[in-house]
Chains A and B, each alone.
Chain A
Amino acid sequence: MSKMEVKNIRFVVKRWDPKDGRFFESEYTVPVYRGMTVLDALIYIKENIDKTLAFRGSCRMGVCGTCGIVINGKPRLACETQILHLNTDTVYLEPLHNLPLVKDLIIDHTPFFEKQNKIKPYLIRRDMEEYWNPTREYLQTPEEHLRYMQFTYCLTCALCYAACPTTATNPDFLGPQALMNTYRFIADSRDEGRLERIAIIDNPDGCWGCHLAGACSEVCPKGVDPALAIQLLRREVAKIAFGYVEPVEGAKVAPSLQLTEKRITKGPPEFTVEGAEEKLKEFKIPKTIPVEKSK
């Protein structure tokens, strides 16, 4: 299909009516061109067919995570799903499952964020003076960073929450995102609140509610892999349950700027390779490379 060719695709949208408290369906036919996303189609419907259709979307490039909806039975980001890649003549759209509804395709993220806040998604430190009045950054090696880096890519789009079969039957289950975030902070070398967080998630509504269906990782648009984080989190919880508690000392604060300045004022290190000076003379290599001046 060339760029300008258009194919008519039928969109069936499952909408929530907050006044009557019921679902109803609306059908629209949208001319689809190559590269057109579901979010583009929703904007087209809103502008040209039905102005009452409510949906959410912002960045249009898979960064903000607000346009998450269920497309043909699977939670996806509307802005990252190309319609022609779905290979169907009819596209079914629904609001994200397992979350309270606001209107049409819009859902309320409140329980999702409340659960995320439960696990204290911030660094917990014992050095309170440094914590509230920071002087420098905490030191961390690239290897230490890689231990949790994958999990920081989360958009909080709630696709994993909508796909999780445990969340579908247990409204109190923390959900893949909150559990993944717990491991993200436990694995962070700067954090000292491991036991505090484990006390929150070590229950059937926490990490033991997961039964490894892997649906959360399957739908994640950023490759964050919450299933992996939850299994690694359970390993940490099991270690503590068996009495294998490693002493955790958070990363140290970087040396003060004053020291760094002193180091810079020392100048470059001395030329210490033996015989190098003679070699330079022998090959007539100048110590400084002359710069050609433009005419």
Chain B
Amino acid sequence: MFAKRERKYKSTPNRLGVKGWYGSLKYNMEKYLYLLHRITGVGLAAFVILHVILMSSRMFGEEAYHQIHGLLMNPYTDIGMVIVTAALLFHGFNGIRLLLHEYGILFVRPKRPVYPYRVSVKSSGVRLFTILMIILAVLFFIPVLYEYIIIWW
């Protein structure tokens, strides 16, 4: 289905690989959002696959469907669902941020670089919007968490 991509440049022993995503802890906030976006993306894709597999149990009859859902009725699944919801909210709101920023929206115009240099991702408009998206993700997550806490109670 997928054509194998042929790499023109060979990997070197000095190539960081996935370590380059988390590597040093001395970067800007956006690099960690980038890492979290990737992790949540992979996690959500895995969840969707698992969800489709579990739902397809209906093909084997109503009894098989209820049997599998009976197995899922435990607190660990609830904790898993809270994590999935948190991942979904983060991925969604960060996705909105990326959609806008990746087309240069809210970015400042190029200027004469004067020391101390201030990079565009740290400019007030871009940074404020980033923080706003994180706050919105947290605000949306609070009722979800509250709902689950009540269920557990």
Contacts and interface: CB of A to CB of B under 8 A. Distances in A.
B101 A231 contact: yes
B117 A214 contact: no
Contacts of A101: 12-14
B61 interface: no
B27 interface: yes
Contact of B120 (A153, A165, A172, A227): A227
Given A146-B110, A146-B111, A227-B120, A165 B20 contact: yes
Contact of A231 (B11, B13, B34, B107): B107
Interface stretch (A1-9, A217-225, A250-258, A278-286): A217-225
A126 interface: no
B30 interface: yes
B112 A213 contact: no
A213 B9 contact: no
B113 A234 contact: no
Contacts of B107: 228, 231-232
A74 B27 CA distance: 8
B14 A169 contact: no
A203 B104 CA distance: 18
A162 to B, nearest CB: 9
Interface stretch (A27-35, A38-46, A92-100, A259-267): A92-100
Contacts of B51: none
Interface string B15-34: 11111110111111011001
B20 A97 contact: yes
A16 B103 contact: no
A227 B121 contact: yes
B117 A223 contact: yes
Interface in B1-56: 7-21, 23-28, 30-31, 34-35, 37
Interface string A230-251: 0110110010000000000000
A218 B119 contact: yes
B153 interface: no
Contacts of A165: 16, 20-21, 23, 31, 34-35
B102 interface: yes
Interface size bucket, A side?
Answer: 35 or more
A111 interface: yes
A148 to B, nearest CB: 7
A176 to B, nearest CB: 12
A223 B115 contact: yes
A149 B109 CA distance: 11
B81 to A, nearest CB: 27
Contacts of B10: 171
Contact of A211 (B17, B27, B34): B34
A167 interface: yes
Interface string A181-194: 00000010000000
B103 A149 contact: no
A214 B28 contact: yes
A222 B103 contact: no
A49 interface: no
Contacts of B9: 111, 171-172
A101 B18 CA distance: 19
Given A171-B7, A211-B34, A212-B102, A148 B24 contact: no
Given A99-B12, A217-B121, A222 B31 contact: no
22 contacts: A16-B14, A95-B14, A96-B14, A98-B20, A99-B14, A149-B110, A149-B112, A150-B110, A163-B27, A165-B35, A168-B17, A168-B21, A169-B20, A171-B12, A214-B34, A217-B121, A218-B28, A220-B117, A225-B110, A227-B121, A228-B120, A234-B103
Given A146-B111, A212-B102, A228-B120, 16 more contacts: A111-B9, A165-B21, A165-B23, A165-B34, A171-B8, A210-B102, A215-B28, A217-B119, A217-B120, A218-B119, A225-B113, A229-B110, A231-B101, A231-B102, A231-B107, A234-B102
> Which A-B residue pairs are the 7 nearest by beta carbons?
A168-B20, A223-B117, A223-B113, A73-B24, A228-B120, A217-B119, A214-B121
